[in-house]
Amino acid sequence: MYGVTGRIGAAFDRLLVYGKGGVAFAHDINTLNDIAACMASTDLNRVGWTAGAGLEYAFNQNWTARIEYDYLGFGFETLNLPTPTFPAYSSSASLNVQEVKAGINFKFGPMKSGESKDRFFPFTIPYSPFANRS
């Protein structure tokens, strides 16, 4: 499953509160095993919609963390699953997905004049084999 979405929100100091929406795509595989141990399967591509909401917090100029909830709705599809036992069997199946995502982001960008290079790595490491040894 994947989607193409846009988001709009409001920022409160370092916190972004947003809503999102767009189009969702899924590849669905369905299988039927009948009473005579015969099997039929079908696969189809679905197009639906998605909506969600989330929070993103900026720790500094480059590092952010986010958590969001998404709902993906694909509706009902009629499935034709013929087997030798049931040659005209069809069914209806719906696909709706709810998901929670979390992430940490690093945003690349040029340093401003007079800014320390340490902003790209805001914490220190006690020992590093890559440290400059003079």
Q: What tokens were used for 34?
A: 């009948």
User: What does each C-alpha distance from 109 to 17, 59, 99 come to in angstroms?
Assistant: 23, 15, 31
* Domains (range + CATH), the chain: 2-120 (2.40.160)
Which of 75 and 111 is assigned the larger pLDDT? 75
Q: In 3D, which of 63, 73, 81 has the Cα closest to residue 120?
A: 63
The tens digit of pLDDT for each residue in 51-109 reads 999 999 999 888 999 999 999 999 998 888 888 887 878 888 899 999 999 999 998 87
